[in-house]
Each structure stands twice: as C-alpha cells, then as structure tokens.
Amino acid sequence: MGSGGAAPEGQSERDRPWLMRTYSGHSTAEASNELYRTNLSKGQTGLSIAFDLPTQTGYDPDSPMARGEVGKVGVPVVHLGHMRTLLDGIPPDEMNTSMTINSTAVWLFALYVAAAEEHGVAPNALRGTTQNDIVKEYLSRGTYIFPPVPSRRLIVDMVAWCDANAPAWNPINVCSYHLQEAGATPVQEIAFSLATAIGVLDAVRDSGQVPAERMGHVFASISFFVNAGIRFVDEMCKLRAFTELWDGIGVERYGVEDPRQRRFRYGVQVNSLGLTEAQPENNVQRIVLEMLAVTLSKRARARSIQLPAWNEALGLPHPWDQQWSLRMQQVLAYETDLLEHEDLFDGSHVVEARTAELRDAARAELGEVLDAGGAFEAVDMMKGRLVASMADRTRRIESGDQIVVGVNRFTETATSPLDGDESILRVDPAVEASMVDDVRRWRAERDAGAVESALDALRVAAEGGENVVDPSIALARAGGTTGEWGDVMRGVFGEYRAPTGVGGVVGSPDGLRTVAEHVRAIPGGPPKLLVAKPGLDGHSNGAEQIAVAARDVGMEVVYAGIRLTPEQIAASARDEDPDVIGLSILSGSHLEIVPDVIRRLRDAGVDAPVIVGGIIPDRDRARLVAAGVAVVYTPKDYELGRIMGEIADLAAAHRQG
C-alpha cells in the first residue's frame, strides 16, 4: 500500500504521494537547520535548500561584491563547517535533498559529499538533486559566473562523476521554472528546456567520460524543474506534452530502450510571477489552483512539489506561512480521493487536442534552437524571445486584456488582518558582520598549507581538462571556501556577461503614444535613462521591461545588464550624464546598497534623480526617500505608461534645474 493510506473498500490502491518540500533557507546555517527540522517535523518529506546570492555566485561574505546580500535570499554556505551545521540532525542517507545552485553547483555538491562522508555515508547512498542548469541563468535568473562552454564542461563533469559514484543523485535539474518567470510561453518553456537537456546530453556523450552503455542511465538521471501558472488546464497539457516529447528524444536521439529510463521526472514550484503584492491573500487560491496543474493528471504528475508562501511577493515568509503551503499539499494528498484513480483526462478530446497543439509547436521551436547550434550557442536568440514575451504579458495586463484580480480589476478591498510590518520575515542586519567574522576565523584556524595544495590541484584539473569534482571534494575536506573555489575557476575560465535581450524587442508603442509625444516635446532632445542593477540579484525582468518601454517612448536608454557595483554605476553615470537613474533590486538589499550608490553618484558630481524599483516593503520607503530616492516603485506599479510619464517629468524637471 502506498504511503497515502488505504483506499476505501472496492477502490484501487492509493498512489504514493509526491515528495513535499518547502524552498527555504536564510540568515545562517544554524537558523536554516532549525527551520528545516521544524518543517520536517510538520510532515515535509524532502529538503529544498535556498542559498544566498554570494554563495550562488562564488563569493565569501567578506568580499566587496557580497555587501548587503549575505543571508538575504537564502543561507550562506561558505565552508564545510556550515554544511555540517546545515545538516545537523538530518541523516544524509535518509533525506532527499534538492539544492538550488548552478554556477557553484560542483562546489556545494562537494561540501555535501564531504559532510556526508563524516557521517559514514558514501556518495552512492546519497539521493537528491543539484539544479545545475546554467542556460536558464543566462536567460532569466542571473547567477551565472562563467561563459557557456566552460559552464557546460562543469555540468558534464558532475553528470559523469555522479554516474560513476553517486548513481541515485540527479546531477542536473533542467529548470523551465525560471523561463516562465521571465515571460516564457508554454511552448518556449518546453522547447528551451528540452534544448538545454539535449545540449548537456550531447556533451556528456561526446566527452568520453561515460561509457556508451551507460547513456541510458545518464538519460534517466536528468530531471526537470517546471513552473505551473494560473491557466492550470494549459499547464497540465504542457506537462503531458513535455512527457511525450522527452520520451521521443530518449528513443530517437539517444537510443534509450528501457521505458522506465525515459520517464519525464520533474519537480515543481508553482508560479511566483503571478503572485501579487496587491491583495496578497488572493495568492492562496492562486497557489492551490496552480498545484492542480501538476497533480490532477496521473500521467504527468510531479514527483516533488514545493509551493511558495502567500506573501512571497512582499518578502521572506515566516515559518507559519510555509506551513500553510505545506498543509495545502497534505490536504490534497491525504484528504481527497485524487490518488485513488487512474489518469482523469485520458480520452478527453479537449486535453488531447491542446496537448498535441503544444507538443507540435514546441517541437518546431526546439528545432529552431537546435538549428541555431543548440541551447548553449543560442542564448542571445532565446533571451530576446523571452524579453519579447514578457513585454507582451506586461502590455496585456496594462491594457486589461489579461485580468489580474486585485491588480487591474476588482481592486476594492477591505483592510486585511494579514497586513502589517510583521507580515514578512526580516533578516537581522547583524548577520552579515557575524558571517564576515566567521569566515575570517575559519581561515585562521585551518591548515593553510593543505588548502593551498588543494587549490593548486583544483587549478591544474580545471586547466588540464580533468574532471573537477574530486579536486573540489578534496578542497572541501581541506577547509577551502566558496570564494576560494570561485576565484580559482574565474582565473581559469574567466567571467561572462549574458545578453540583456532588450535591443531587438518590439514593445507596445501604441499604449505609450501619449508619453512619446510628451517626450518629444521636452527641450534639449530625448531624455537619457540609465537603468542599473546593483548587487548580486540577477532577476532582471523588471529592469528589462522598463528599458524596453523607455526606448519605445523615445528615450535614450543605457542598460548594461546585471550585477554592477556601486562604483561601476557611479562611473557610468559620470560618463553617460543621464537625466534619470533607475535602480532595480529584488533581493532585499535595498537599504544597504541604494544609499551607497547615491553617495557615490553625488561624490562623482552626478545630480540626476534616482528612482528605485523592486520588492520593497512600505516601511522602507521613507528611509529610501531620506537617502535621496525620488520615487519608489514596487510590483503594484504595473502601469508602464504612468511610470514612463513620471520618468519623463523627472527628466524635464532635472534639465530645468
């Protein structure tokens, strides 16, 4: 009998429920371990670790690049001591662990392996997943470090090492989730993620690291992490189409004969893009409906599910908020009769027709990406298409063609008892200083010679084309840090700046015509808008849409992409002489980073007004304004025409002095 319990008499055996996770981690390894153990005691059946941005991008907490970001969107894991603490009381051979980590995936996996070994657990007993999908980082999430070719090489090394040493571990979780967050249509989500999987599998096959007879196992080790939006019928059909296409790729491209190895195995977090800051209580029903997309159809049911909390559009959720999301899963799995039946939609003409439509369109789009050389070679093309799709979504919401309850329709509301300054979790500002002290103490107390030897061995392996997983594990055991691993790899592979996708996108000039006329009338020619993303936050959708809209109304736009330092922004503003400067921050580091940027701007003699957009709680607005910010925008501000008009007014006023 499955773990869902006995079915009523006369009905078939219940299916086993999916793995239930909550995506979590914050502040420190100690605080995150307490949260994990609490969630597991409430019935969560798998871990999903969120790492902070310095960990994701290969910096130690005392790096200038990490300022303001330590512990904000996840847990900082800098060395083996942190991984020990993070997993304290959680047996690694009994837990299925998912790690949302990409550029530094080899390193965090090495720390996990080393920590497990200290408990006597060999790699072949580990079960879990490293996300390790760098293409979607270039396209949407922004925590990339290295160029595409060496990044693919690191993924191949992980796949090959796991096949030989940790066969129950999924070395890559091809992630279409963030593609939808960046605006992808269902067709794009299917096609771009399948192209990524093909790019990795082809590289593994051609690397010589995996025997030909093991390619079936390698194919089976590739898992996916998908999104499920509010159009849950379409989303369900998307997953059925995914399943059919993946099976066909296994047979036709890789000759995988065992149908069990061709199963489309995926986990899911339902849509965060559609969660609203306005009337956030509506997010509860959105989350429940989106969960149906990945559970109702048995043939395309998720193997693991993690649900966002209702208030994640506002900031970090409290443990109680995450419990609410976990209970949604448990009620569906244990109280309803869903798991007692075969697929509810087999034979449905509507579902079969829509599935076929999505499958055929995705196959054609996949063909275009492969014709362009493949996912790793077609980053520019795919990025442009995603920015265009997001621009279309933004236009539909602003025009009212796409209704969002509480945002552009049914906006009247009573006061919510869930509102207030305490509705989100705030990371203690002292965490960063304590983590800086921690890493410096760790370096002082370790065997420096052993670390240097391990770093040298890692460098030799990276330069010589050897598999880097074993040298990374050796460095973890010796006491190396995230920043040291990152520095070695940067030295060998260099760093990369992904395309912005803004240049070739056609926006919606019709909806901005009035503002465009106003812009043309401003004395002195088109205003210049400098759009910048300071800090390590790589979620660039908002910045990209502002840049596209500003260009459409006739402004001159300067946008250099993500991850700029305050010094770089000030230097660019000094050289470009913009009329308005727009900063975008979604990681919660606005109170640390924005005042620093403004101070450096003024020191450089730049007096242009500064506007800020991001996930910014109401109580932080006054502090930003006091620091010199002219206007603060949040996700509630969806009307691009109004925003562009206000930017034009600021530019005109600035020119008048």
Which pLDDT does position 10 carry in this prediction?
Answer: 52
| Residue 72 is among the residues annotated as catalytic for this protein | no
- Catalytic member of 537, 579, 596, 620: 537
Q: Is residue 533 flagged as an active site residue? A: yes
What is d(CA 230, CA 287) in angstroms, rounded to the nearest whole number? 8
Q: HSE on the CB side for 274, CA within 13 Å?
A: 25
Helices of type H across 73-147? 80-86, 105-118, 134-136
Question: What is the model's pLDDT at position 6?
Answer: 53
The single residue listed with the structure tokens 């605006």 is 183
Tokens encoding 355: 């599935």
d(CA 70, CA 86): 16
All structural domains of the chain: 19-130+419-494 (no CATH), 133-140+148-296+323-333+342-407 (3.20.20.240), 509-656 (3.40.50.280)
What burial class does residue 74 get, using C-beta atoms within 10 Å of its C-beta: 0-12 exposed, 13-18 middle, 19+ buried?
Answer: buried
pLDDT (0 to 100) of residue 3 = 36
**What single string gives the DSSP state of each residue in 509-565?**
GGGGHHHHHHHHTSTTSS-EEEEE-BSS----HHHHHHHHHHHHTT-EEEE--S-B-
Question: Has 496 been annotated as catalytic?
Answer: no
Would you call 254 a catalytic residue per the annotation? no
Give the residues of the chain that fall short of pLDDT 70: 1-12, 420-421, 504-511
Task: Find how far residue 539's CA is from the centre of its chain.
Answer: 8
**Structure tokens belonging to residue 88:** 């304290």
Distance from C-alpha of 115 to C-alpha of 291, rounded to nearest angstrom = 34
Alpha-carbon gap, residue 273 to 271, rounded angstroms: 6
Task: List the catalytic residue out of 36, 138, 144, 177.
Answer: 177
177 labelled catalytic: yes
Catalytic residue among 136, 178, 238, 590: 178
383-396, pLDDT tens digit by residue?
999 999 999 999 99
Residue 2's pLDDT is: 32
* 29 close to 364: Cβ distance less than 8 angstroms: no
Catalytic residue among 539, 559, 620, 638: 539
The pTM of this model reads 0.92
Q: What is the dihedral of CA 287, 288, 289, 294, to 10 degrees?
A: 90
Q: Which of 533, 559, 579, 596 is catalytic?
A: 533
Cross-strand bridge partners of residue 270: 228
520: which residues sit within 8 A by CB, 6+ positions away? 526, 554
User: CA-to-CA distance for 84 and 562, rounded, in angstroms?
Assistant: 32
What is each CA distance from 27 to 75, 105, 239, 498, in whole angstroms? 6, 20, 35, 29
Query: What separation, in Å, do the N-terminal and C-terminal C-alpha atoms of the chain show?
Result: 76
Using an 8 Å Cβ cutoff, are 155 and 172 in contact? yes
Which residue, among 242, 257, 280, has the nearest Cα to 420 in the 3D structure? 280
Residue labelled with tokens 């980590």: 101
How far apart CA 135 and CA 148 sit, in angstroms, is 8
The question of whether 334 is a catalytic residue gets the answer no
